[in-house]
A and B are shown apart, each in its own frame.
Chain A
């Protein structure tokens, strides 16, 4: 990335993503409590519907972004040695990318 996700940009994205994540999570929890899917087909149909599919894809993307900015801040605060810090940050990034790929596979399957 040529433009780093740091400083004001990271601060702003953290808040924008927080608002979206909050709305999506509130909606999904409400829906799961009021009308839980009865079987795997109902679940697949729900997630595979165009609106929910797009909302979920955006959720995953913003969740990974939000988690990266947040966990990076924690790592920068508590892990001081440069080599260790780089290693931990690389591990966090790999973890998030793996989660993103896994979620992508599921989203492609239900679409």
Chain B
């Protein structure tokens, strides 16, 4: 086959991905993480609805250190997936497709998502 003689370069430490590719991979990873978190969210709501004791337990779970760490991670994933998703929707209607905007908006998503997550964490707990 002709294809087997093509050069292969797969040194993951030396491949330099464009920023939009990094943001895109993170969008996927965040999506899978949020998918896995669906039962956690349902379980938390179920616990909080179960009675006065369950509600207090759900609140204390959210305020515990591991709870806050997990919540921050999930809020970061949510913020990233949310912002990157809006960027894709804008690209769909041909907004920001050209080079400087395309790269700048990818940087913005990567940078703003953890800040938004921190703000949400402060607001929620």
B31 contacts A by Cβ under 8 Å? yes
Q: How far is the CA of A36 from the CA of B55 in the complex (A)?
A: 12
A46 to chain B, nearest CB (A): 10
Which one, A25, A95, A106, contacts B45 given CB within 8 A?
A: A106
Binds A, one of B5-13, B35-43, B98-106, B107-115: B35-43
Q: Is the CB–CB distance between A109 and B49 below 8 Å?
A: yes
Cβ–Cβ contact B38 & A63, under 8 A: yes
Contact of B46 with A102 in the complex, beta carbons under 8 Å = yes
Does B52 make an interface contact (CB < 8 A)? yes
Q: Residue-by-residue, is B64-81 near A (CB-CB < 8 Å gives 1, otherwise 0)?
A: 000000000000001000
Contacts of B61 in A (CB 8 A): none
Assess whether A70 is interfacial by the CB under 8 Å rule: yes
Report chain A residues within 8 Å CB of B34: 67
Assembly CA distance A109 to B78 (angstroms): 28
Q: Give the A-B pair count, Cβ closer than 8 A.
A: 65
| B interface residues, tally (CB under 8 Å) | 26
Interface range, A side: 20 to 34
B49 touches A71 (CB 8 A): no
Question: Contact residues of A with B, CB < 8 Å?
Answer: 15, 18-19, 22, 25, 29, 32-33, 36, 39-40, 43-44, 47, 63, 67, 70-71, 74, 95-96, 98-99, 102-103, 106, 109-110
B binding-site residues for A, Cβ under 8 Å: 28, 31-32, 34-35, 38-39, 42, 45-46, 48-52, 54-55, 78, 82, 85-86, 89, 92, 120, 123-124
11 CB < 8 A contacts A-B:
A15-B89, A18-B85, A19-B89, A22-B85, A22-B86, A29-B124, A40-B51, A47-B45, A71-B31, A74-B28, A106-B45
Identify 12 new A-B residue pairs, CB closer than 8 A, beyond the known A40-B51, A103-B42, A106-B45.
A15-B92, A29-B124, A32-B123, A36-B124, A43-B45, A63-B38, A67-B34, A67-B35, A74-B28, A98-B39, A99-B38, A109-B49
